[in-house]
Amino acid sequence: MLVVFQALGQDPPPEWQMQVRKFAELKDWDSAMRIVEREAARAPQDTDVRAWRARILLWSGHIVESEREFRFLVRAAPQDPDLRLGLAGALGREERWKEALRELDAAVEVDPKRADLHAARGRALRALGRTDDARQEFVKALQQEPASEESRAGLLSVRAEPKHELRLGTDMNLFNFAGTYEGEWVSLTSRWTEHWGTNFAGNFYQRNATIAGKFIASATGRSKRWGGLTLGGASAHDRGIIPETEAFYSYDRSWRIGESGFLRGAEAALEEHWYWFTAARILTLNGTATFYLPGEWTWSLSLLGARSRFSSTAAEWRPSGTTRLGFPLTARGERRLSGNVFFAAGTENFALVDQVGRFSAQSYGGGFKFQFTRRQDLTAYAAYQKRTQDRTQTSFGFSYGIHF
């Protein structure tokens, strides 16, 4: 983001600075740098020229060079809050927020009445997870500059986020070779702290007059450095419809790549899941890669290996995979609509006994999510699966989420 630098005093800025600002607004970094280099050749000791060079380097993505230039300038003029603000900006782009905060602390100590310094300090505190302190800094920035949209947006970004999600859902599975399955479920997902969370869910299935149900519980530990680890299991009153017991663990890790470019971030997850049916034992190994693209688009690829063993046969491994594309349908805001489409080959979720067996399948489907407010949303999906032996399955479902 460009930082607006206002000239001190009554004199207008030099002509070369006005030209640099014009090219910076157009993001024409090469032209802006040519002007700065020309001025540097005329006055190599001019700190204003070197400061502008450091800013252009920062804005154009040359973070390491920008940091080096700002550090030289800060050593030469430690009482200049603008230079410390620039150095903090370079450190923040590298996510070195603790170092950035030290520079901003020093800048605020020199000039405690500048709104932009408090807003930058609020962003650093927010990135470090200190939301209460960040909120106070954004409030100070608004007190000093009530018209600042940047500070107002910062204050909104540190609103107390909901810690719990209660979700109610229903599913329908229609087969051309078996009776209809109906299901209802409820789940409660809680993020108690930045590092710990839990999930509890109850699933209920009906097939004709037979009713089955299961209870699922899991706990997740997470750190910014190491990622997240989830352990969980399920126990059921199966009635021959669903697994008797389940156990699973998963590990996930995410990487932020950058705000510009085709790939913004990536996430990888690995899961091992055991299902114990009355007459079968299933082990699945699942790996998923998710890529975050510009414009809030996402693409994920999941590969699964399932080891099935029946009471009268030897164990057998079968591969399968799913690819999914997610995309926004409305602009950002409180009311948002997003959609997704997917294709799967051989993929089963092993929730029902009809999904266990030696068959091949192809599935097509999609869904949407509508965010009423930041505390309420509705999701829906539909899928069609074509199996060998001319067997088909059509599934659809809805869920409603409350965040509190």
Q: Domain boundaries in the chain?
A: 15-157, 164-403
Cα gap 280→316, rounded to integer Å: 12
Two structure tokens written together for 322: 């799913």
Cα gap 80→73, rounded to integer Å: 9
pLDDT at residue 121, rounded to an integer = 94
Q: What is the pLDDT of residues 354-404, one digit of tens each?
A: 777 667 899 999 999 999 888 999 999 999 999 988 999 999 999 999 999
Q: Is the pLDDT assigned to residue 43 strictly greater than 90?
A: no
Q: Is the pLDDT assigned to residue 2 strictly greater than 50?
A: no
Cα gap 207→242, rounded to integer Å: 11
Sequence-separated (6 or more) residues with CB below 8 Å from residue 307: 282, 283, 284, 315, 316, 317
CATH code of the domain occupying 164-403: 2.40.160.40
Q: What is the pLDDT of residues 50-60, one digit of tens each?
A: 999 999 999 99
pLDDT at residue 14, rounded to an integer = 86
Question: What is the identity of the amino acid at 223?
Answer: S
What's the distance, Cα to Cα, between the start and end of the chain in Å? 33
Q: What is the pTM of this model?
A: 0.69
pLDDT at residue 158, rounded to an integer = 84
**Chain-centre distance for alpha carbon 400:** 21
Cα gap 291→323, rounded to integer Å: 11
Domain covering 15-157 assigned CATH 1.25.40.10 in the classification: yes
